[in-house]
Amino acid sequence: MSRKKQYPSPFQVDHSQGMVLIIALWALFFLGALALAIAAYVRPQLELAGRVKDSTSVHYLAEAGVKRAMAQINNSRGPHVDTLKEFLPRTPFDFKSQGLADGEFDYELGDEERKININTAPYKVLERLLEITARLDPQQAGDIAAAILDWRSSGENPRKNGAKSDYYRALSPSYPCKDGPFEVLEEVLLVKGMTLDIFKSIKDEITIYGAGSVNINTADKFVLEALGLSDTLADEIINFRNGNDGIPATADDNIFTDEGDIVHTLKSARKLTREDIIQLTDLAGEGFWCVHSDNFRGRSYARNNHASAVVDFVFNRDGNVRFWREE
């Protein structure tokens, strides 16, 4: 008897092949999940590395702006350097960084010795400056001026309405009186009576750099009047400096070249009263005038396609950087 040959049903499943397929699918799922996890971990690291690279790039671009500003002063020792009345216009320079992203920088530059030095200015000058710039009444201006002098000088006996360590130790939080010169401009905010609004009113008129003399070629009207000049005489000095066109920083500007010849120079071009001559002579005798600046403040701006940086800096003619703050 012959056996009938049996053929596999088309509906039968090879279970071993099915298991292999399931294992392969699970393996692909886990590999995909692993790839996503690695990508999620690596992407922030790559983005961070990119940000670090961009930050490094704009840091060096900002440094280039600082060096360019310093070179402008060091390579330009003529009279026009001493007629920097305000920050110079921002002038962009293309800059290709070495091995870093391309970008550009520009900078502003101004004279620090056109300002009142709070480490050396006498009481009356500080009092007048606070009255003029912050529009304080004489009592409040005088109290803050006294506190500034107490802060920068040694000893424990405060001036009338001033403040020494006993006052500051009673504050919360407490701190001692400095009994020494201001080291950064913002330190004046610690002084009794000083507020942020008052500081904002005077910060562009005060400095901690230089010997204390004010450059008569660059001082603005606030500073000239704070030194004790009348409103009219301050205007006469500014008009003389601006030349015939009345516009500062142009070719016809006039300049004072000698501290001892200020009266004669101004008198040859302007009508001065006897009181004007006395004011100018007295200030010259007390060493308040100079005609040449050695300390300059600048601001360097840097940017590329992904980042930016700003550096505030102060330097002197010897090339020493005396202040540096990067944002």
- Choose among 312, 294, 132: nearest CA to 215: 294
Residues 122, 320 contacting (CB under 8 angstroms): no
The whole-angstrom separation of Cα 75 and Cα 72 is: 5
Residue 279 falls inside a structural domain: no
Residue-level pLDDT at 248 = 81
Residue 215 falls inside a structural domain: no
Q: Which of 186, 205, 224 is the last residue of a domain?
A: 205
Q: Which of 177, 205, 233 is the last residue of a domain?
A: 205
How many CB atoms are located within 10 Å of the residue 218 CB? 25
Residue 213 falls inside a structural domain: no
**Angstrom distances, CA of residue 235 to CA of 78, 225, 239:** 25, 10, 6
**Same domain as 151, residue 181:** yes
Whether the full predicted model's pTM is greater than 0.85, yes or no, is: no
Domain hosting 187: range is: 119-205
Average pLDDT over residues 179-185: 96
Residue range 187-208, pLDDT digits in tens: 999 999 999 999 999 999 999 9
Residue 126 falls inside a structural domain: yes
CATH number at residue 164: 1.10.40.60
Alpha carbons within 13 A on the beta-carbon side of 42: 6
Q: Residue 22: pLDDT above 90?
A: no
The whole-angstrom separation of Cα 23 and Cα 94 is: 60
Residue 286 falls inside a structural domain: no
**Same domain as 71, residue 149:** no
> Which segment of 25-29, 94-98, 188-192, 239-243 scores lowest on mean pLDDT?
94-98
Q: Which of 205, 223, 255 is the last residue of a domain?
A: 205
Share of the chain above pLDDT 90, in %: 58
**H or E element, residue 309:** strand 308-316
Q: Residue 149: pLDDT above 90?
A: yes
**Beta-bridge mates of residue 226:** none
Residue 94 falls inside a structural domain: yes
The pLDDT-based confidence of 48 (bands split at 50, 70, 90) is very low
Residues 57, 103 contacting (CB under 8 angstroms): yes
- Choose among 129, 178, 190, 175: nearest CA to 153: 178
Q: List the structure tokens of 324.
A: 């540096």
Counting the structural domains of the chain, the total is 2
**Beta-bridge mates of residue 117:** 207
- Say which residue the tokens 């001082």 belong to: 219
